[in-house]
Amino acid sequence: MSDMNTLPKGILTSQHRGVRVWWITAPDLQGTVDRLAVVLGEHLRDSDELHVSYHGMQTGWLETSKPKLFRPPAQSIDLDFEYSTLVVLRDRAPSAEPEGG
């Protein structure tokens, strides 16, 4: 298992009291999925509870003109997106700490 701080670019991590969190960003959906696979392959344990949240956000656009044979050029807009995923792994194993109550 690799150290949480030696992951590829585009992945931020945090850890506290058995909860491990990754925020994954990529310029395309395939990049997000690839980075998610790295995180899960390296850090998911059998005793973990997995939570995943996905987000796609428009980051820009480009107006283009596509030539058409025997017709005026067709105008179109190409949208740019950035994708992010929040992954939370929490150990389901019972804790050694006594519960107050």
Kind plus residue range of the DSSP H or E element containing 10: none
Total-model pTM: 0.69
Higher pLDDT, 71 or 86: 86
Nearest one of 92, 29, 31 to 11, comparing CA atoms: 31
pLDDT digits (tens, 9 = 90+) for 6-21: 666 778 889 998 899 9
86 close to 52: Cβ distance less than 8 angstroms: yes
Tell me the sheet residues that pair with 21. Answer: 14, 88
Radius of gyration of the chain (CA): 21
Strand (E) or helix (H) holding 69: none
- Domain ranges in the chain are 4-91
Question: How far, in Å, CA of 5 to CA of 3, rounded?
Answer: 5
